[in-house]
Structure 1
Amino acid sequence: MRIIIAPDKFAGTLTALEAAQAVADGWRSADPTVDAELVPLSDGGPGFVEVLHTALGGTLAQATVTGPLGDPVQAAYLLDGDTAYIESAQACGLHLVPPDARDAGRTTTLGVGELIAHAIAAGARTLVVGLGGSSTNDGGAGMLAALGAGPRDALTRGGGALAALTGEIDLGPARAATGGVTLIAATDVDNPLLGLHGASAVFGPQKGADDNEVQRLDAALAAFADATEPGGALRDAPGAGAAGGLGYALLLLGGTVESGVARVLAAVGLDRLAAGADLVITGEGSFDFQSLRGKLPHGVARAAAAHGVPCVVTAGVVSVGRAEAAAAGITETYSLVESAGSTEAALTRSAEELRGLAAQVARRWTS
């Protein structure tokens, strides 16, 4: 039996590669004859650069940039010819902020702009910026400031400070710094910048914002939008709300939004791999309604379905019904929490429990 193991990360517990390895080890414990190929994936968030480096080769470039709380952090991006792949989470990711220090009104995307400038100086003429896993809600203001937009001080103090903006932001220097460069925001989030489905309301709570703070942050982003594009429509564009509004800032610089999943699946050649498989296994930390809106498991399932190959999901938590999953091309779903018996066990022994779950799945599919 030939299987393709193509998971995303299990956020907070396993990288995509660790998850793939756990599934492979568990399956082999039940079926030593299996032909398993590991294809770790990313939708643009954490792991984006690692996955693409494995698939494409290229050169990893290192840079010291400003982290989300203002401290220096080490970040890497991938250079493949004159294309650079940047993982915004390496400069402003939630994992860089201790849980007790999470404050979506304070964190900045300054380091993302510094990474972009670094890549341009290295010769990149196309920049693919993976969006996801951010700790920020500053609309990409910090990123713009790093590229020359001003006033710098007003743009680098986090999303909360944007409420005090008066007058228009000077985007000219930032646009000049990225002139002649193709900017692509790689994300599968289609949220606008503002409102009930915007960056603050949907993603703010994950970054430490309560209901009152969400309202304040949304108002601050509205002030930022008025100062950068008075009466403009980019704030309503799908993907503008990605990574706390970082998608909006890239659009302001003339960038476009592209599916991060599609780019990664093309890079790893998943369509070709699925064509020769008997089963495709994907997974992520939480398989929920957002997973069915074009996110990674949905993309993997579509690639498998194109060749009549069944696709199953192993996830930390499954909150999608059987009928909904089937409509998205998912043959079966398996929950790590249910298999482990508790959320605590699934979180503290993630690799071990995922190996055990994969062995169960193997027995189910080889019996």
Structure 2
Amino acid sequence: MRIVVAPDSFGGTLSAREAAEAIAAGWRRAVPGDDVRIVPLADGGTGFAEVLHTALGGTVHTREVVGPLGDPVTGSWLEVDGTAYLECAAACGLHHVGRADRVPGAARSATSYGVGQLLADARSAGVRRIVVGLGGSATTDGGAGMLAALGLVPVDEDGLELPYGGAALATCARLDGDADLGGIEIVAASDVDNPLLGPHGAAAVFGPQKGADDAAVAELDAALGVFAGVLATFAGREVRDEAAAGAAGGLGAALLALGAGVVSGAGLVRELVGLDTELDAAAAGGGPAITGEGSFDWQSLRGKLITAVARGAADRGIPCVVLAGQVSVGRREAAAAGVDSAHGVADEFGLEASMADPAGTLAELAATVAPRWGR
């Protein structure tokens, strides 16, 4: 039987490749006769550029940029045949922010300035197209920092440059300067379709993950509302309610204002790494497709990677099985998304054990599940 193992990264514990290798190891141990193929995936968030580099090759460009808290961090982007693949988390990801720093103050002041520096670096390199993977950010600044790094500086009524962070956008009056992209095509590869504002927006949904309490969420949502008007004036249209405007702390809205097109990050990676070819082979060999991520929750059903794998499996009439760190999606919701079965490492072995040995417990979960689906 041919098995395709195609997971996303597992939060900050396992990369997509590490997760795939752990699942494959457990599966082979339990059902040694199965032909297990691994296809590490990403949906625009953490691991986006790494997965594409593994699949496509290309040149990795590395430079020091401003991190989410204003300190220097090392960022990178991938160049392949005139296209730059840039992962926003490389410059402003949560992994750059220690757990102790995920407090309301950091949530209010975190900046996407480093993302703009990576974009400017790719622009200077002469690429024709820049694909920005959105997800895993520590910021809720509406992409204001990114725009400032590109030459479009958010200022107040007196023309004074605003400090870093989303909270400062409450006094934003306009964008000063110019961001000459030289005709470069910009693509936003998003892991979610959330709008910028409101109960499903950047602050309300993702702010708490970044340390924002209720007061900070309300403050950031109000400030982003002000900035949405500034972006609308600049772009000549409203972008606040467009799909993916709320991605990566509102970075999606700024990219939309720059004229970016939006694609599914999961769908783009699925195409570039040849997942469909592997799913075809699995269908011919009896399936199933195995996917997963750190937390299989309601956000997973809003255009993230698991749904892309599940759709591909359903199109071929093969089962899709999810192995995740934690599972909070009900069976009915999972089935509606095309997932036949979902299993959580924490549910099986406990949260403490899963965090202490993420690869080992994930492999053990795969070994437990494999006999139900393998040869």
**Class of the TM-score when normalised by the shorter of the 2 chains:** over 0.9
Distance 1:306 1:9 in 2: 24
Q: CA deviation at 1:156?
A: 4.6
1:158 positional shift:
0.9
| Amino acid across the alignment from 1:111 | G
Distance in 1 (CA, whole Å) between partners of 2:208 and 2:230 is 25
The 3-state SS of whatever aligns with 2:318 is coil
Separation in 2, partners of 1:223, 1:366: 54
Aligned length, in residue pairs:
362
Aligned amino acid, residue 247 of structure 1? G
Task: Give the deviation of 1:104 after TM superposition.
Answer: 1.3
Q: 2:355 aligns with which of 334, 341, 347?
A: 347
CA distance in 2, matches of 1:285, 1:366: 23
Aligned-pair CA distance for 1:124 = 1.0
Instruction: Report 1:309-348 matches (<5 A).
Output: 309-340=318-349, 342-348=350-356
1:55 aligned to 2:64? Answer: no
Residue correspondence of structure 1 range 247-286 to structure 2 within 5 A: 247-277=252-282, 278-286=287-295
Structure 1 CA distance for aligned equivalents of residues 26 and 17 of structure 2: 14
Classify the secondary structure of the residue corresponding to 2:352: helix
Which digits, 9 at most, give the CA deviation of each residue in 1:229-284, with x for residues without a partner? 24941111111111011001111111121110110000111111101112110001
Distance in 1 separating the partners of 2:89 and 2:162: 19
User: Which secondary structure state, in structure 1, belongs to the residue aligned with residue 65 of structure 2?
Assistant: strand
TM-score normalised to structure 1 length: 0.95
TM-score scaled by structure 2?
Answer: 0.93
- Structure-2 separation of matches of 1:204 and 1:334: 27
Please tell me the residue identity of whatever aligns with 1:129: V
Structure 1: gaps (5+ residues): none
Which residue in the other structure is 2:167 paired with?
A: 160
Distance, in Å, in 2 between the alignment partners of 1:151 and 1:245 is 15
Displacement after TM superposition at 1:164 (Å): 2.4
Q: Kindly state the Cα deviation for residue 219 of structure 1 after the two structures are TM-superposed.
A: 1.1
SS at match of 2:294: strand
Q: For the structure 1 residues 151 and 246, does the alpha-carbon distance in structure 2 shift closer, same or farther, using more than 3 Å as the test?
A: closer
Question: Per-residue displacement from partner, 1:135-187 (whole Å, max 9, x unpaired)?
Answer: 0011100100001112577345111111122x3222x511xx21301111100
Shifted more, 41-50 versus 8-17: the winner is: 8-17
Q: Distance in 2 between matches of 1:228 and 1:303?
A: 36
Runs of 4+ that moved beyond 6 A: none
1:194 and 2:203 aligned: no
**What root-mean-square deviation, in Å, do the aligned CA atoms of Structure 1 and Structure 2 show?**
1.5
CA apart distance, 1:9 = 0.9
CA offset at residue 32 of structure 1?
Answer: 2.2
In structure 2, the residue corresponding to 1:257 is in which secondary structure? strand
Partner of 1:129: 132
* 1: CA distance, partners of 2:174 / 2:26: 57
Match of 2:247 among 242, 245, 252: 242
Query: Do the aligned residues in 2 keep the contact of 1:112 with 1:143 (CA within 8 Å)?
Result: yes
